[in-house]
Each structure stands twice: as C-alpha cells, then as structure tokens.
Amino acid sequence: MISIIGGGPIGSYQAYLLAKKGEKVNVYEEHDKIGKPIQCTGILTHEIHKFLKMKNSFVVNKIKNAKVYAPNGKSITVKFDKEDTIVDRTKFDSHLAEMAEKEGAKIFLKSKYKSNDGKELKIGNKRIKTDILIGADGPHSRVAKNNGLWCNRKFVAGNQVVCELDDLKKDTMEIWMGLGMFAWCVPESKNIGRVGVVSYDKANEHLKELMKIRCKGAKVLERQSGLIPIYNPRQKLKKDFVYLVGDAATQVKSTSYGGIVLGMKAANVLARNKKRYVLNCRKEVDKDLYLSKIIRRTMDNFKIKDHNEFVKLVNQKRIKNILETKSRDYPSKMLLELLIKEPRFMKFALKTLF
C-alpha cells in the first residue's frame, strides 16, 4: 500500500503514475474539494504537454507574448515560439484526480494527515497502515515535519487578485521587474485578469502598488495568497519508507516560483524507480532548480538601474530569439547560450559573488 498525502496536482499525478503501474494507492486530502483553495496563477509552459494532454475543460486561455516592463517604464515584448497555457486550477486539479481514480487510485477527501508512528498513519481519527508514505502536501508539509525531512526551509509570499479589466490583450501577459521580486498580469479572458506579486516581505504593500499601476479602480472578484517554498539544494527527499515530492520537497523554480512542471518530472522519477529516486532527482531535476536559484540570487542583488539595463540588453534580436524558443522551465538549456550571445550579462552574474 502506498499512501500519498495531498490531492493537489503533484499528489494526484503521482497517484496516477503509480496506480497505472499496478500499485495500490490511497490519496488523503484534507480539504472537502480537490483544487481548493487556489494559490497559483495557473500559467504553464509548453513543457506541460510532455506530461499531460491539455483539455478544453480546464484550459481557459493561451499566451503567445510576454510584455516585460522595466522600472523606468520602458518595455519589451517577447513572442513565444510555443504558447503558454492558462488553466482553471480547480478544474485542472480535479482532472488529475480523475485520472488517478480511473487507474484505480482511491482518493479520500476531508482526510487530514496528522502524524505517523512508523508505518501507522493517523488520518483524522483513524489509524491506517501503509508500506510507503509520500508527502505531496505542499510547502508546510506535515509529512516532512513529522519524519525529519523539514530541513529548515524558507518561503516567499505570493499575493494575487482576480479582477475585471477592459484593456487586456488576451494573448499577452505582462511582467514588472523591480516590484517585489516581480509582478504580473495574466489574462484568463479578454476582460478578466490575474494580477499579482511575489516577494520576500510586504506582499500586501507590493500588491497595492501594483494595483495602482495596473488595475486602479478595477472590480476585484477574488483574492488569493499563499507561501511558496524556496528550493533548498540540501533538502532531503527520502528517509526510510517516506518520500517527498513537489512543493513538499521544495521542487519549485526560484525564477518564476512555479512548481508544476518540475514537480511532475520528479513524480515521474519516483514512479520509475523508488530506490533511485534521490539519485535520479539530483541528475534530472535539481540541476535546473539549482540554476534557477542562482539566477534568483543574482536578481535579488539588482538595483533599479540594473533592472533597467537588463531589460535593455534583452531587447536585442539575438537575445529575444533565445528567450522565445528555449524553455523557461529548464535554464540549463539557455543560460550558457545567453552568456555567449551577450557577455555583458556576466556582470550581473558576478553580483552573486559579492
């Protein structure tokens, strides 16, 4: 018996993969509905197609361009060679849960994992035996805490509103550098946008500033917020019969703080070979997570003038071509090429060292 704690996208996808191999899998989700509460912008790069077939039932929009603003107000537009997909997270998560159930996995709602004494789990008021325990229970993972896998993790804050806007370009997302860590406006339709910011602190203040810039006076339909784990290269992924995957394992990009694609990749690694999960993750997943962390550390040292100069350097055909054709999920496939094409980027990288 394999017990997965957390029925989010990574937990449900992990259950699907393992059940498809013939494993007996139970998923325990503390909430009464899959996909709630929403704590994600719902934007996925084209890499998602390697793991999952996109369906009209949960796809709400497709993004072809990114308009990036520097603090001085100047902007550039990057046109993606392959579209990003915007999903309704509740429907997306529910679809993954249904995939798992079709393969034979059982999903139990309103079933909160409290602790485990060895291979005996305490789920609500019940005690349940398991052979393998997988923590896919998000950034505050109880599985990690209760099994010596917490590893002194740290977080950033994401804060977002969904609001009515009458000036959206449906195929274009907007990004602001130098506001918090970065800020965004992602259209889910021609008149509904997801507007948010991620930062180390003062997330509410940064969001208020963004709303003055982008959606002053707009009708707010929904507010969403949550903490996002910072990738920890020293994070332990396994202890005895216990494994961590996704946000619970801090498998989140530090560049965009998205974790679905690389979380799904880690889920595939675990399903393929549980005994070599840690080693294979280090080889196949951690390289890009580590590079994204270095990029973030570099950008954290940016001053306003650095953001302005960075956007100016990106606004060159040879640089935009790389950004338009390479995957944002895998910086290992683009970083060296960017430095070769534009050596002046190196001075930003040197900021990491000083």
pTM of this structure: 0.94
pLDDT single digits (tens) 236-272: 999 999 999 999 999 999 999 999 999 999 999 999 9
C-alpha span between 150 and 156 (Å, rounded) = 16
Contacts of 334 (CB under 8 A, 6+ apart): 322, 323, 326, 327
**If you average pLDDT over every residue of the chain, what do you get?**
94
Domain 2-40+89-152+235-291: give its CATH superfamily: FAD/NAD(P)-binding domain (3.50.50.60)
Mean pLDDT, residues 184-202 taken together? 95
Residue 353 has pLDDT above 70, yes or no: no
Q: Domain extents for the chain?
A: 2-40+89-152+235-291, 59-88+154-229, 298-353
pLDDT single digits (tens) 335-352: 888 888 888 878 776 665
CATH of region 59-88+154-229, choose from 3.40.50.300, 3.30.230.70, 3.30.9.10, 3.50.50.60: 3.30.9.10
Instruction: Name the residue among 253, 245, 250, 255 with its Cα closest to residue 235.
Output: 250
Residue 66's pLDDT band, with cuts at 50, 70 and 90, is very high
Mean pLDDT, residues 144-164 taken together? 96
Q: What is the pLDDT of residue 154?
A: 96
Structure token digits, residue 270: 């675990």
What's 148's DSSP letter?
Answer: T
C-alpha span between 207 and 331 (Å, rounded) = 28
